Chains A and B, each alone.
Chain A
Amino acid sequence: MKPIDKRAGLLTRRQTIQGIGGVGLGLSVSGLAAPAVHAQSKRPIRFLNGETGKDTLAFFAMAAKLYEEKTGTEVIIDSVPLGEAFTKLTNGIRSGTPYDIGTTGFIGQVLLLAEEGHIVPVNEITDQYEWGNNILFPIDEKVYWYPFDYNLALIYYRKDLYEKAGLSVPTTWDQFATNCEATVEGRQKGCLFPIGSNGATNWMSFGFMWAEGVELFDNQWNVILDSPELAPKAAAYLDFMARLYPTMPTGSLQASYGDVLSNVVAGTVAHGAYAGRVIESAERDNPEIAAQLDVMPYMDSTGSRTAANHGYDGWMVMNTDNSSAAMEFMNWMTSELIVDFLHTAPVHFQPTRLDIYDNDRWRDNALIKKHSGMIETMRGLITDESVVVTSIDTQGPNPDVRPGKVFESFALPEMLQNKILRGMDSDEAVSAAAEKIRQAVG
């Protein structure tokens, strides 16, 4: 190369042209400027993750690295809080750069994307396993997601307070309310079930109503909440919640997921609904409380039936030109690494696949071992057909987007508020909620 002509500046015109030419040639050779060559190479798999716990993020980084080492295919993991995942997914679709795998915590979103052809069935993965009750939500026998946890909302209670007050585990509403009243002492309250218009209320506060046998729709999608058979049950549920309300801390109207979690973990309430995150948080922040926590399902008024409220999360394979590669990755991850994934939140990520409960490697985890009794209770809830496992957004004769609209309309939380906040007659509150549901589903 000629020496730089200092008199004419840093580079001569000839050197500049030669340099640009050289860079251009380099780019061409590297493939950046050769789309045809580039397209033939493996396209990265774009994975939108919605679980943002520290350990879960580390898991995905590890999984992506392992997969690239094994297959040469890069996996790009983008992580956002679950609540923002759907917007990001749909923005990707609209902008022409869809993700290849997405995460969702809402079956209504799965159905919506399936209806519009944005996701593909994952039967080739799900058909390999046996699953717990009411979790796959197939449409015409096609399964459109891989649910990785149940996230059942259950009632966590303090064994030490029960012992101190001479209480036994309740099986009826009356017993439960009595226990809540008996455990109020100073700043410590009896229970916390949110009643505001938010997702926390939808998830945590209606288990009692499901246990009582209340349903929102019949087989033809007619709203039956205010039917002669179910209206008295729903009204009785409201009366029961109104009895619980004075035993709750101030602020339960706006209580969020975090508020309930922190109250249970801090020991400021004797009962609170949540999923296994309670145990993980308590073990980390308040081990004394963790040792005193146990779990029970929601019960009905007579002690004849129990229920748990869905909170599930799952992965979907998007309908892109990379679907087959994404499916391969999903198949590999869910067969080879699912235990590692579940261990990132061992109690919270309650397995949906029944084989995992007997998997020695999954069982060989400190928290799972320590809380094995609780784990067995949770397992029983998803295998016992007599336990009602449902949620607002999975109501109805078959999977459909309509219950999702009911979920987002907050018709049921408003029913609670009408009763508790406005002192409305229970029957009237049920009728108003039924009417709002009818409007929401159109």
Chain B
Amino acid sequence: MSKPAEFVIRPKSTGIIAMLLDLWRYKRLVVYFSVRTVRMRYKETILGWLWLIIRPLIPALISTVIFGKLAQFPSDDVPYLVFFFTGMSLWTLFNTALLYATRSMRLNRRLVTKLYFPRIIIPLTSIAPFVLEFFINIAVLIGIFILFYVRTGVCYVSFRPALLLCGIFFLATLILAWGIGFVTSILNAQARDVRFTLPFVLNMWYFITPVIYPLSFIPEKWRPLAILNPMTAIVEGFKWSILGRGELNIWYVVYSLVLVLLVFSGGLYFFSRAEAKFIDSM
């Protein structure tokens, strides 16, 4: 037997550093839980993987007809379907990741009330299926690009070094969803109000984020207000890096990234404080 390590159990939480060290010790569990949540999501579906492709396409086609064709929304001079699908992929990642991170603690109630492991693994891994779905959406998007290329001979992907920046916007989306999810997962474990309120909030949030319209659609004087929403610059930047249309204000992006990191550390801090106590109210 190895030399036993001593641990002191106290009423107060052990703090962020200890929590992160503990998380590192349990890193394998992060992998296992991620795989587990993915499996759980797709078990007992007949169409299985087919759902992954069908689900994003239907709202994309509907939105293309309503906003692109009927309402004639501008779309940065690319076909509306391409424009919308690019922004929607990232928004869907944020939306579903946050919703499920929020529900995660309640879904794993039995586990967290009967076993010890770093609880942060639960909201952390709950988003795994949505990261997978995001990559499938991107694959579908690539399919759409190819389709347009074959039919019209125009390639809408702008191949340039800045294309790689889309990875940063993807990560920022994850980190923001985590940061908020750390807080909401614990609040939701206490009161289900959170779960009922959140979809409304996300619905509103969707409309103030430039997904169905470009940022340039918003009048100049209102733009600073729109940019307060951290998702604005993220979604806009994601579309910019892939489609290469329009201008991207670097300060908007810096502001968003700083805000995202602040929210993430705040969420982490909240989680480390509340971790030891919220179990009792589950």
Decide whether A and B are members of one complex.
no
